[in-house]
A and B are shown apart, each in its own frame.
Chain A
Amino acid sequence: MLDHFAGGKTPVHRLDPAAKTVATLAIILATVLVGRDRFLPLAPVAAALALYHAVGRTPLAYTLKRLLVVSPFALAVVVLFPILEPGRAVWTFGLGAWTVDVTQEGLLRAAHLAAKFLLCAWTTVLLVATTRFQDVLQGLARLRVPRAFVVQLAFLYRYLWVLMDEAMRMRMARAGRDGGLGPWRVRFQSHAGLLGVLFLRTFDRAERIYWAMAARGFDGTLHAPVQSHMHLKDWVFAACAFAVGAAAILCDKVFYA
């Protein structure tokens, strides 16, 4: 489950989801705004996240696993930077007819990018680890994120599991008949067929869900009852997150002026 540890009872679990969502966005924004190749301004962010991690009692293995899952998105860029960035070569190797230089500037840029990416991903993982997904959605709705976007996310989360189940059942049905063996070409073709059928089933299901919504009066406008409210502790928490973000940016401006 995405939010397996979100049912905890720690102080950070009890914070208002809107406050946590705002804090997450503030931290990510500050991290992104730090100038390139500057590591020091990232330190307050990392310290704050480590504190949040500890208070929320999020298991380290869970966090690392989640970071690993999202890392391929950054990996391609991180790997390419050292060889694409011009600068002083620290290592040269041949690749067929080409000579490739790994530059010091490139390595630094890659490390900085990786650090920023990991901090942003860590922030998001911590939000999800300490807040139930539906509460994140409610937080987004209260922050006046367009309703259609929030509902889109809700549907994605709701039906991801149904689709995964469906895909799993089809895979098992296939494995039951080919024993998981067979020539790769046939397996590849059946993969394509499986995806096609999954798409069609998704399409059909989307229509049935729309019917179910329309049967209950849905006319294109989404209304939702809003329940929780921000308390003092939530305001203080959001303010702390902004302070950490401000510290990072200040550090960036002062030390690298």
Chain B
Amino acid sequence: MPDWAVELADVRYRYPTGPEALRGVTLAVQPGERVGLVGPNGAGKSTLLLALAGFVPAEGLIRVAGHRLARGTARDVRRHLGLVFQDPDDQLFMPRVADDIAFGPVTMGLPLEEVEVRVHEALHAVDLEGYEQRAPYHLSVGEKRRAALATVLAMRPQILALDEPSANLDPRGRRRLIGLLKCLESTLLVVGHDLDLILEVCERTVVIDAGRVVAEGPSRDILSDRALLESHGLELPLCLDAHM
């Protein structure tokens, strides 16, 4: 049996005041693999990411980087899982960009010199060198998104999970993000409606609808299946639509 980076078996979750968001999700992701999670609004994609990090108490088996998620192990799991939230204003909570990026490494108990190295590396990776002293509030949406990614990269997680990474980005910001994601060596889980981005970045795509995995396979096959996509509230990526 291979060592999966992420392993989910029959994961279920119902919001206390709402419908069942996850109805038995089973999914396995290999180390280094890039997987896109797509589906209509309310399909359970974002909830799945929250369940993965132990933020919602889901039933079923969740294993991240070999650590089984259970009561008391969430911190171990989160050490290996870098979660980037949809709204960068939630992610960037410190008064300075450098403090924000240092938050994770400092919390991990790394020495100050190592923290500085990681902050520098993360800012370099997202092309935000010189932004150390800037206040997150004054950054543009694109810069905020890259800074949010840097906060997680500084922790060097084995698995990166991004929720709608290209939302509200202009074409240039989006193109920059795609280039950045393609350069990363971590296992990647990308949730979103930007199917063009997923087609370009992820080799495998999983379609989720009504809390279940309804299809999965190579991105090129899944994202060119017009009937499948349309039956789940999606449409062909623009780059494929132009040729079909």
Residues on A lying within 8 angstroms of B by beta carbon are 133-134, 137, 154-155, 157-159, 161-162, 205, 208-209, 211-219, 223-225
Contact = CB atoms under 8 A, between A and B. Distances in A.
Contact of B85 (A157, A159, A208): A208
A212 B107 contact: no
Question: Considering residues A215, A224, A225, which has the most beta carbons from chain B within 10 angstroms of its beta carbon?
Answer: A215
A217 B107 contact: yes
Given A216-B155, A225-B112, A211 B93 contact: no
A209 B102 CA distance: 16
Interface residues of B, number: 35
A211 B106 contact: no
Contact of A216 (B109, B115, B137, B151): B151
B137 A161 contact: yes
A168 to B, nearest CB: 14
Q: Is the interface of A mostly helix, strand, loop or mixed?
A: helix
B94 A223 contact: no
Contact of A225 (B82, B102, B136): B102
B95 to A, nearest CB: 4
B85 A134 contact: no
B93 A212 contact: yes
A214 B103 CA distance: 11
B112 A162 contact: no
19 contacts: A154-B94, A155-B93, A162-B137, A205-B89, A208-B87, A209-B90, A209-B93, A211-B53, A212-B90, A213-B93, A214-B78, A215-B78, A215-B82, A216-B152, A217-B75, A219-B107, A224-B99, A224-B106, A225-B115
B72 to A, nearest CB: 12
B108 interface: yes
Instruction: In the A-B complex, list the 7 residue pairs whose CB atoms are closest, starting with the nearest.
Output: A216-B104, A134-B95, A217-B107, A208-B90, A215-B83, A223-B106, A212-B91
A195 B95 CA distance: 26
Given A162-B137, A225-B115, A216 B99 contact: no
Question: Considering residues A155, A162, A208, A218, which has the most beta carbons from chain B within 10 angstroms of its beta carbon?
Answer: A208
Given A134-B96, A208-B85, A209-B93, A217 B104 contact: yes
Given A213-B103, A223-B106, A224-B99, 10 more contacts: A134-B96, A158-B136, A208-B87, A211-B50, A212-B93, A215-B78, A215-B81, A215-B85, A225-B112, A225-B115
Nearest to A227: B112
Contacts of A209: 90, 93
Contacts of B55: 211, 214-215
Question: Considering residues A162, A208, A216, which has the most beta carbons from chain B within 10 angstroms of its beta carbon?
Answer: A216
A63 B228 CA distance: 64
A137 B89 contact: no
B107 A162 contact: no
B79 interface: yes
Nearest to B85: A212
Contacts of A137: 95
B85 to A, nearest CB: 6
Nearest to B77: A215
Interface string B53-89: 1010000000000000000001100110111010101
